[in-house]
Amino acid sequence: MVHLGNHPEVVMCLGCARWAAKEAAEIEDRDRTGVLPRARDRFRDLRRGVAHRGWHRHRYLGPALRWLGRRLP
């Protein structure tokens, strides 16, 4: 369980905390321009496409895709 820094009364599981951090980064990138925010947007689009197609549940590709998903923006 993870306690949020400014609100220690709020507790989230590790998976939800990871999701919330990625969502916060996406919201911050909306106002930014440049190469890195665009690259992160491409990774997010790619992640959504993989999830939409269900490739993350594939017997052989799934573990590698999930490993990458935890490490990429």
Q: Which tens digit of pLDDT belongs to each residue from 24-41?
A: 888 888 888 888 888 888
Cross-strand bridge partners of residue 2? 12
Distance of CA 15 to the CA centre of its chain: 10
Res. 72: pLDDT tops 80: no
Indicate whether 22 pLDDT > 80: yes
Task: Please report how many Cα atoms fall inside a 13 Å half-sphere around the Cα of residue 47, on the Cβ side.
Answer: 18
Q: Residues 32, 71, 10, CA angle at the centre, nearest 5°?
A: 75
Sequence-distant (6+) residues with CB within 8 A of 17 are 2
Q: Is the pLDDT of residue 67 over 80?
A: yes
pLDDT at 48: 86
